[in-house]
Amino acid sequence: MATTKAKAIHDFFNGVLTAYPSTAVPDDAAMPYMTYTFSEASFGDEPQALTVNIYERTDSEASINALARKLSDAIGRGGCVITCDDGVIWLKRGAPWSQAVVDEDDRSIKRRYINVTAEFLTTD
């Protein structure tokens, strides 16, 4: 089965926590989960900014911070390389890394807004 750039990124995020493209979150998604934006590039293009949001229904800042740390650990200090059909994608922690966001409609939902940078070392 082909591993497109989109599938490679999807599989990486799902290896950390249940993840959905930000445009395709099911109505019955169970928390905790993350959403991510996807943008695509090729070798020589500028690195792409990906936005990840982690959601959890909890009163604990510690548990949502632990989920953000789990993603940070998966990416690693120097980033991580994931493979796709056209080459590799180098994911790195963006800056700022993680920011707390308040859900005005439901204060029991904690969210972390996370910046990830993707450098596409791909032929297409």
Using CA atoms, how far apart are residues 91 and 105, in angstroms rounded to an integer?
Answer: 32
Range of the structural domain that residue 104 is part of = 5-122
Q: What is the mean pLDDT of residues 45-71?
A: 95
Quickly state the pLDDT bin for 119 (edges 50, 70, 90). Answer: very high
pLDDT at residue number 70: 98
DSSP designation for 98? E
CATH number of the domain that residue 52 is part of? 3.30.2000.20
pLDDT at residue number 1: 57
Q: What is the mean pLDDT of residues 51-74?
A: 96
Task: Reply yes or no: is the peptide bond before residue 26 cis, omega within 30 of 0.
Answer: no
pLDDT at residue number 62: 96
Each residue of 87-112: pLDDT tens digit? 999 999 999 999 999 877 788 899 99
Question: How many domains does one find in the chain?
Answer: 1
Residue whose token pair is 């989109």: 6
